[in-house]
Every structure is written in C-alpha cells, then in structure tokens.
C-alpha cells in the first residue's frame, strides 16, 4: 500500500469498527483526470447504504482535519461487494475453498482468465483447482483475483 492509503486506513479503522464494520480495502487512484479515495467496508451481516453513509459522515471531517492527501480528491465509501478483489494475504486465507476468478497479465495454461476453487495461497502464489486439475499462478503473473458468486446450488 502507499503511504496515503496506509494513513487513511489507520485513521478510518477505529471509526469503521465503532460502526460495526471492518475495512476491506483503501484505494487512492486517478481515473479520468480525477483522484478518488475509496474506502471499502465489510461486515459479517453485509453492508447497507446507511452504513456506508455513516462511515463517510464520520470519516470525512477527520480526513479534512488530518489532511493526509495534499491534492483534491473525490471521497467514496462503499461495500466490498460480493465479487470483491482479494488483495491481502488475510483475504486469501479467509476465502480458501471459495470460487474465484484469476485474471493474468499474459496467458498461462492456454488462457488469461481462470475460474476455480481457491485451494492455497503461499508467499503470493495463488493455487486453484478446476475440473480435477490444479493450477498455480505466481504473484507477478496475476493481475487480479476476485470472488465469483455461485448461482444455484
């Protein structure tokens, strides 16, 4: 994480916890010429619009006061979502056995996107199983890993 996202995480964490949620991720990105600060939150019971609004209202004045970002930016608080990206080792550990989609920078095993069950995460290596086969992807090969919603059952 960047110093900005680390600092925002540090400032937001107690507020988010007080409101019954946890931080899933913080990102500070430039899109279409504008900077966006996004705080993604989660809870075991899911996240409501009201919870996002409560976090936003509680955190906004603290960000204004502490001013961890020198540039102007658009501030957003949102749910991590059902098909959330897995970024941190703890995310991967939490979702061992879940259905995931692995997107690669370059094709491996004949394609750039693989869907399967997350079976392991070791030192940045993502391991999935699909159709009785095991596929391993090194950290530098992976563009994104996200949960996939399973329909039916």
Per-residue pLDDT of the chain (153 residues; tens, 9 = 90+): 579 999 999 999 999 999 999 999 999 999 999 999 999 999 989 999 999 999 999 999 999 999 899 889 999 999 999 999 999 899 999 999 999 999 999 999 999 999 999 999 998 999 999 999 999 999 999 999 999 998 875
Q: Tell me: do 11 and 75 sit in the same domain.
A: yes
Q: In this structure, is residue 75 part of a structural domain?
A: yes
Domain tally for the chain? 2
pLDDT at 34: 95
Domain hosting residue 22, numbered range: 3-79
- Extended strands (E) in the chain: 22-31, 34-42, 74-79, 99-108, 111-122, 125-130, 133-137, 142-147
Q: In this structure, is residue 142 part of a structural domain?
A: yes
Dihedral Cα 61, 34, 5, 78, nearest 10 deg: 70
Q: Tell me: do 137 and 104 sit in the same domain.
A: yes
Q: Tell me: do 63 and 97 sit in the same domain.
A: no
Q: In this structure, is residue 84 part of a structural domain?
A: no
pTM summary value: 0.83
CATH number at residue 142: 2.30.30.100
């Amino acid at each position: 994480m960047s110093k900005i996202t680390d600092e925002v995480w540090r400032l937001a964490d107690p507020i988010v916890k007080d409101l019954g949620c946890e931080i899933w991720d913080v990102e500070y990105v430039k899109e279409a010429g504008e900077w966006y600060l996004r705080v993604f939150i989660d809870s075991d019971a899911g996240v409501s619009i009201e919870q996002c609004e409560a976090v936003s209202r509680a955190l906004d004045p603290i960000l204004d006061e502490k001013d961890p970002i020198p540039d102007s930016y658009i501030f957003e608080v949102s749910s991590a979502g059902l098909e959330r990206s897995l970024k941190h080792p703890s995310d991967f550990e939490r979702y061992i056995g879940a259905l995931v989609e692995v997107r690669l920078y370059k094709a491996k095993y004949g394609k750039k996107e693989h869907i399967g069950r997350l079976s392991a995460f070791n030192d940045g290596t993502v391991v999935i199983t699909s159709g009785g086969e095991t596929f391993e992807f090194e950290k530098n090969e992976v563009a994104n890993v996200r949960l996939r919603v399973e329909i039916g059952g």
